[in-house]
Amino acid sequence: MKLGIVGLPNVGKSTLFNAITKAGAEAANYPFATIEPNVGVVNVPDERLKILSKISQSEREVPVSIKFFDIAGLVRGASHGEGLGNQFLNHIREVEAIVHVVRCFDNDQIIHVDGSIDPIRDIETINLELMLSDLDQLEKRQGKLVKQVKGDKALKPELDLVERLIGALEKSEPLRTMELSEEEEKMISSFNLLTFKPVIYVANVSEDELSQDSHPYIDQVKEYAEKLHDEVVPISAEIEAEIATLDDDEKQLFLEELGIEQSGLDRLIKASYKLLGLISFLTTGPMESRAWTITDGTKAPQAGGKIHSDIERGFIKADVISFDDLVKAGSMAKAREEGLIRQEGKDYVMEDGDVVLFKFNV
């Protein structure tokens, strides 16, 4: 999963990104050898892996990881190419969801580019750039389609859709809020439009406000986000930077002291999963216990395809047991004895926490 971090200058993007990079560097079993400087990788915390790996006496645990792309430099005027703007916008095209950092902390020492703290104005500044960029791209497409449709009537639905999308943007409606048919959804996903991507606002508050349930800036952001069906995660980027340097036990103590249950980063990861409609299935054996990400609704062969394309191609069946049943049984052998392992075919829809062994022809 790839997420892109955007936001105005001086809102706390680098602080958050550095926390992510540090947290990733500390995490064990990090599966990538080298990464680019603007990419931070973190593991998705999954308690179930520890338990599975005990049951199977696995040599290692491999969690799912998320890549965060630091897309700095998105400023007012970016869609017109200001400050390398277009280049940054193109980076956003490659991510699955946008993490939009919004300044919700007061601090006279840290200058705001627009002179005052106003989360909604900031959000709208960035959202406007994203909408203008989409508009520009769609107008170019419209120009081409108008010509092509004369010779090829089959392109008419696409042209209609493009014109509807332009209409929405002209009314300042981000494209993700539009009601679309399945057919249209399919068409639009190939356009790679920015305002079609899911958004999570990270409300960057100061340390002492983190444990408060209500806060005027956060409430404003929540109210705004609700209308667009976007998510909000309050975070203190500075605290995340501190948490990233702690080991698991220290982290727990620190969170308790702060009066919060989970780190902001963990909450951000959870929110991304929810927003993108993702679930995890698990595999386990003496070599490794591992988590895999799929979209909710994925069937067994396609889930197997995440592991290896051969599994999808040669799929025969999947032996499936829910994580909870396996824990109750205590071991795979016991679970088999008790008939808890189900044999599922190619139409089986995977569930979160399924522990799976795929059978396939090579």
Residue 12 known to bind ligand: yes
Rounded to a whole number of angstroms, the minimum distance from the CB of residue 200 to ligand GDP is: 16
Q: What would the x/- binding string for ligand GDP be over residues 101 to 120, using CB under 6 A?
A: ----x-x--x----------
In contact, 353 and 280? CB cutoff 8 Å: yes
- Stretch in the footprint of ligand GDP (CB under 6 A) among 11-19, 79-87, 126-134, 268-276: 11-19
Residue closer to ligand GDP by CB (options 41, 237) is 237
For the record, the structure tokens of 167 come out as 């209409």
Residue closer to ligand GDP by CB (options 163, 208) is 208
Residue 11 known to bind ligand: yes
Among 3, 4, 6, 7, binds ligand GDP (CB under 6 A): 7
- Pure H helices in the chain: 13-26, 47-56, 85-93, 119-151, 156-170, 182-189, 216-228, 237-243, 248-258, 264-276, 300-307, 309-313, 323-329, 332-337
For the record, the structure tokens of 326 come out as 């396996």
- Name the helix (H) or strand (E) containing 322: strand 315-322
Residues of this chain, 206-225, that bind ligand GDP according to CB under 6 A: 206
The tokens 């995490």 sit on which residue?
27
Q: Does 292 bind ligand GDP (CB under 6 A)?
A: no
Among 62, 233, 237, 271, binds ligand GDP (CB under 6 A): 237
- Which residue type, as a one-letter code, is found at position 346? K
Q: Does 263 bind ligand GDP (CB under 6 A)?
A: no
Q: Does 14 bind ligand GDP (CB under 6 A)?
A: yes
Residue closer to ligand GDP by CB (options 64, 244) is 244
Among 4, 15, 225, 283, binds ligand GDP (CB under 6 A): 15
- Which residue type, as a one-letter code, is found at position 188? I
**Separation between Cα atoms, residue 279 and residue 48, nearest integer Å:** 13
Residue 14 known to bind ligand: yes
Closest CA to 259 of 206, 213, 204, 221: 213
The tokens 């090579």 sit on which residue?
362
Closest CA to 264 of 346, 323, 187, 205: 205
Residue 293 known to bind ligand: no
Q: How many chain residues are in contact with ligand GDP, going by CB under 6 A?
A: 16
Q: Does 133 bind ligand GDP (CB under 6 A)?
A: no
Q: Does 122 bind ligand GDP (CB under 6 A)?
A: no
Integer CA distances (angstroms), 239 to 175, 207, 318, in order: 34, 7, 44
Residue closer to ligand GDP by CB (options 110, 120) is 110
- Which residue type, as a one-letter code, is found at position 99? V
Among 10, 57, 252, 309, binds ligand GDP (CB under 6 A): 10
Q: Which segments are annotated as binding site for ATP? A: 10-15
Contact residues: ligand GDP, CB under 6 A: 7, 9-15, 105, 107, 110, 204, 206, 236-238
